[in-house]
Chain A
């Protein structure tokens, strides 16, 4: 990371915005962790905290019209793509007025108005969908770009490998963002990943591929600027392998991370927290002030708290909704 990087082109407002996105994800996830422990949130929840710089960095170079398809761990991508936090919280609670009317939940959270094609309950399930959105943009002659987020675990799926091939052969405007958070569920990357790194798989089919420090939002953004520009100008797909460990277990409630040392998690949270790294850097550079960041923190905290309150008191979906939206017409 040099001072001449593309990311430094961010204005103070841009820096504040990227911080706001990361802070919103962290606050959302930390709050969901607490609320889930209290069993107020039904079902299965997979938290993204720790990986914020990846979603924020990539989505900071996308427009509302661009597409993303997400993973099991989709809240961060949704926030970064501009989804409404209250609508998201209502969805996690399974309430009427949720982003998906309560029919999706955490694992299927989506907002087509924001180009967020959905979290996915199937590892790598969203990768071909993102390729399809890219195909759609190409055929319709727009300059839209599509991003497929996938975990290191999902990268072992056939759908991922096939999508790399299809995107390369069809020269689709898609960016594959592999988030290596260290674990496929509870199995460490070093136990499940064949070959040294996923990026080699992109190279194998002729896709420009790069390993990126996923704790550094500037590094992610720089890589994304290049990848998105390549896609937008018709030069085809890119693969970015971003390394960023998760703070919580695979799934709330089920996974207490017994397979990790407490010291390992402590070290992660103190030395490799993307928010801390960001703050240290921008304050050292004098681009924004500590007060400005504290202001963002307070606003975000209030916003997420209000979302939780609203979700708790919201109505359940009407039972008649059970049978709607199965088909457009039947």
Chain B
């Protein structure tokens, strides 16, 4: 049965269902129980693990502020029989434990010739919009996408967040799970029962014939708004949410571009060496014959995320910029 749930509660529900299904699923991070020794009711800074301690006291732990140790411990635990979900809180904190992600989690299986696997999930909050400044707002998923061995998930809706978290926990490879903090309290229809959404399978958010818009994370919503506005001007846009950027569903993107002849990629991360530039290059390489206009990228500028509300509001891409990008590629289009 489906009902309305927030993105945050959808993630919490996936964690609870997986912890119940498999005692090897353990959850830890700073304040994951929250105030251990006090009331134990916090459930991390935002509450997705609230109540899990009552249900699964042997499967959830608070960690000291020791990311290098507890993320590394997640790797060691995963390689020796557990399925840990380690909570990095803000993805920006990856900086202090990147060795454990980049050199240990991602490479262990390869370096031992396939004799070990690392079934861990690293939860990571990301994204601009909450006035948290440059060290709490980054969209770092391209860095992780670049590293072989890691899988990178960027859900945009509550239903996707739950299904993809379930898949992530059951997956036998290390998964970095990006949770956009501006989506945490967004609500949507979420099935109650447990379900998986396969990695590498994009979601067609909206069908269209004139231009393909590939949008990631919070940008999916902006792309939908843009597509709605463009429809009023008689332009039909297809909106595709890759859902996972590693693996990336290139076939769905190529197929769409072959139908529409145009591509706009919308990505909140900085533009250089990004998922947007990657998709733009892949499409140029593989569907060149289908293109009827120049590929457009709509991204944040190559700058850290500012604090000032006025500046931050101008930082992340918005529907207006997406509309302009679609118009640019349509205007400069060659005849079909």
User: Which chain A residues have a beta carbon within 8 Å of chain B's beta carbons?
Assistant: 67, 69, 98-104, 108, 110-113, 117-118, 120-122, 125, 127-137, 139-140, 146, 158-159, 162-163, 165-166, 169-170, 324-330
Contacts and interface: CB of A to CB of B under 8 A. Distances in A.
A136 B112 contact: no
B66 A135 contact: no
B72 A327 contact: no
A327 B149 contact: yes
19 contacts: A103-B110, A103-B112, A108-B112, A111-B115, A112-B116, A125-B104, A128-B68, A128-B70, A128-B76, A132-B80, A135-B82, A159-B72, A159-B100, A162-B67, A162-B70, A163-B68, A327-B109, A327-B151, A329-B172
A166 B63 contact: yes
A122 B79 contact: no
A119 to B, nearest CB: 9
Contacts, number: 165
A326 B109 contact: yes
Nearest to B58: A139
A132 B76 contact: yes
Interface in B12-58: 24, 26, 58
A112 B100 CA distance: 19
Interface string B66-110: 111111111111111110100000000000110110011000111
A137 B114 CA distance: 22
B335 interface: no
A113 B115 contact: yes
Contacts of B69: 127-128, 131, 159, 162-163, 165-166
A8 to B, nearest CB: 33
B82 A326 contact: no
Contacts of B6: none
A330 B104 CA distance: 19
Point out which of B59, B113, B171 has the most chain A C-beta atoms below 10 A from its C-beta: B113
Nearest to B247: A330
A165 B64 contact: yes
B76 A131 contact: yes
A59 to B, nearest CB: 17
Contacts of A325: 109-110, 113-114
Contact of B68 (A98, A159, A326, A327): A159
A321 to B, nearest CB: 8
Nearest to B150: A327
